[in-house]
Amino acid sequence: MAFHRIYRTLIAFLLCSSIAFAQAPNSPQIPPPPPMFTPQECAQIVAYWQAPGRLSTGLPPDSLKHGPWQVRLTPDGSKWLLNYQIVIGAATAPPTQQPTQAQSPYASWKAWVQAKIAWDRYQAQKVADAANAALGYSVPKRAAPPPFPGPIPPDLLAACGDPPPFANAVTPLQTTVTFDDGVSFTYQDNIDMPPAYAYYRFPQGTDTAGISLKAMPQQELQALFDAAHLTPEQAHVLAAVSPLEGGFDAINTYDTGYVSVGFLQFITAANGKGDLIPVLQREKSENPSAFQNDFHRFGIDVTPDGTLDVVDPDTGAELVGAQAVMKVIADRRLTAVFQRAGRLSTPFRIAQIETAIANYWPADFPVTVQVNGQTLTGKVSDVIHSEAGLATLFDRQVNRGSINPFPAVLAQVMQEHNLTNIGDAAPYEQEIVAKCRYRADFLKNPHLSQPPPLPSTENDPTGK
């Protein structure tokens, strides 16, 4: 499952900052939005969620083998690692690449950070082992301790600050949510992340990839694509990119996207105004009765200005924006509402597909390049004709919020081959797509149409 919407999260963070600045103490206070739920509805929602059997929590099955205490990455350590990744110039690396995989300007930095992570995990493991032994669990013999990392390099300290512990001992819990029709979903908190993962934020969060589009019956998936009026080309690209994200019922509440839902991991962002909101708005507008059944009756809605709005299942309090986001992260019952809709609701699935095409389909994106002092304009489809090429840019747009570095690569190719019109670069699509590869090499995907072979060097005046 692809975990991270870095650029979109950054934009949401800047938006939140601007809102906070606009609402400084000396500024006029913006009145709260009108409630989306009546007092009677809030009472009904609380009564629904308080019914016996709705929520059960206990230890996950693997705790019987390993013990309840386990080693996990710390959110503060993960934040430090993201800052480190930015400082060493690896901010644009795919989210699957850990910061310590990149070469830093100083070899001593990489070696020290790796040693510190190993040392912290060893110390956390000692704590977990002692706690498990005290509970009567058998503790396996551990390897010799790793070398102590020693003092942090002064230039690393100056650049990134003093790092917190990268690991600690925790007790993961498992929670099951059961709806009145017997449909249930099970979640675990304190997700076991890679030791140097840079985007882990909420230990109370959870993660499930759902049912991938590839695993769905082809007839069912095609019916959804037809209902969303997708072209065959769009359907092929969505099917190729979605395994990098998840199924329609995927949900992730532990990382920098805050609440991420669906086959392209639409996010709430911190303020509840991320690209998940247009998905909810689309279903609410196109099929109000389905939205009522999927979300409102369980305590989830969207305000008229496009902000997440939820009802606390325990208190009946209506929460908006950042408070609503954090409540979904903390409360598995609200988490399960999203997964249920993605698993069972055709209108919610169609809303995901339609929003994905409306927001991220790159074919008609405008492109401006500078070549030999000339400013040239066009659109992606002037150059990119293959499904593999569109999937490459769609992948970047979904995960990064931008098709960059496509314009820069296009300008470079045009310069190298003495091209004067953007459309003249189409024969070099294969070269351009290869240089824009991000999380997957779609040029090797046999289910996608491919760019034509590169022109023969005999016809290229540059000989390239």
Q: pLDDT for 373-388, tens place per residue?
A: 899 999 999 999 999 9
Report, as an integer, the average pLDDT of 316-338.
Answer: 98
Do the Cβ atoms of 380 and 396 come closer than 8 Å?
A: no
**Do 278 and 404 sit in the same domain of this protein?**
no
Binning pLDDT at 50, 70 and 90, where does residue 10 land?
Answer: very low
Mean pLDDT of 150-159: 96
Instruction: Indicate if 380 and 341 belong to the same structural domain.
Output: no
pLDDT, tens digit, 9 for 90 and up, residues 245-254: 789 999 999 9
Residue 446's CB: how many other CB atoms inside 10 A?
A: 5
Q: Are residues 31 and 125 in the same domain?
A: no
Q: Answer yes or no: is 77 within a domain.
A: yes
Average pLDDT over residues 304-318: 98
Do the domain assignments include residue 56? Answer: no
Look at the chain and report how many structural domains it folds into.
3
- Do residue 299 and residue 426 come from a single domain? no
Residues 230 and 154 in one domain: no
Segment 285-289 mean pLDDT: 98
Establish if 410 belongs to a structural domain.
Answer: yes
Q: Looking at the structure, do residues 431 and 393 belong to the same domain, yes or no?
A: yes
Residues 269 and 214 in one domain: yes
Domain final residue, candidates 114, 146, 169: 169
Q: How confident is the model at residue 188 (pLDDT cuts 50, 70, 90)?
A: very high
Q: Are 5 and 95 in contact (CB under 8 A)?
A: no
- E strand or H helix at 184, and its extent? strand 184-188
Co-location of 13 and 43 in the same domain: yes
Q: Strands of 211-337 (E only): list them.
A: 251-252, 260-261, 266-267, 300-302, 308-311, 318-320
E-assigned strand segments in 59-179:
70-73, 167-170, 174-178
**Domain final residue, candidates 144, 169, 194:** 169
The reported pLDDT for the residue numbered 15 is 41
User: What whole-number distance in Å separates Cα of residue 307 and Cα of residue 291?
Assistant: 16
Closest CA to 345 of 265, 253, 279, 266: 279
β-pairing verdict for 184-188 and 366-371: unpaired
Whether the pLDDT of residue 177 is over 90: the answer is yes
In a domain, 329, yes or no: yes
Q: What is the pLDDT of residue 100?
A: 78
Domain check: are 271 and 414 in the same one?
no
Residue 414 lies in a domain: yes
DSSP structural state of residue 152: P
Tell me the CA end-to-end span of the chain in Å, nearest whole number: 39
426 belongs to a structural domain: yes
Find tokens 């209108």 and name the residue: 347
Q: Same structural domain for residues 108 and 88?
A: yes
Report the candidate in 393, 400, 406 with the shortest Cα–Cα distance to residue 362.
393
Is-contact 159 88, C-beta < 8 A? no
Q: Tokens 């969060």 belong to which residue?
A: 205
In sequence order, what are the beta bridge partners of 366? Answer: 379
Please tell me the pTM assigned to this model.
0.86
Token output for 195: 């030791």
Give the helix/strand (H/E) hosting 104.
Answer: none
Burial 381-398 (b: 16+ CB within 10 A, else e): bbbbbbbbbbbbbbbbbb
Average pLDDT score over residue span 237-261: 92
Q: What is the pLDDT of residue 34?
A: 85
Of 298, 323, 358, the residue at which a domain comes to its end is 358
Residue 101: give the domain boundaries: 63-169
The confidence score (pLDDT) of residue 23 equals 46
Q: At what angle do helices 387-400 and 232-241 cross, to 10 degrees?
A: 50
Q: Is residue 29 part of a domain?
A: yes
List C-alpha distances in Å: 361 to 140, 143, 230, 279, 403. Answer: 51, 50, 11, 15, 10
Tens-place pLDDT, residues 13-50: 434 444 443 444 565 676 777 899 999 999 999 999 99
Do 227 and 265 fall within a single domain? yes
Q: What integer pLDDT is reported at residue 66 of this predicted model?
A: 80
Does 368 lie in the same domain as 339?
A: no
Long-range residue pairs from 403-407, CB within 8 A, at least 24 positions apart, any chain: 403/362, 403/365, 403/436, 405/435, 405/436, 406/367, 406/380, 406/432, 406/436, 407/367, 407/368, 407/369
Structure letter (DSSP) for residue 73:
E
Distance of alpha carbon 50 from alpha carbon 28, whole angstroms: 39
| In the predicted structure, residue 418 carries a pLDDT above the cut 80 | yes
Residue 179 lies in a domain: no
Say whether pLDDT at 7 is over 90: no
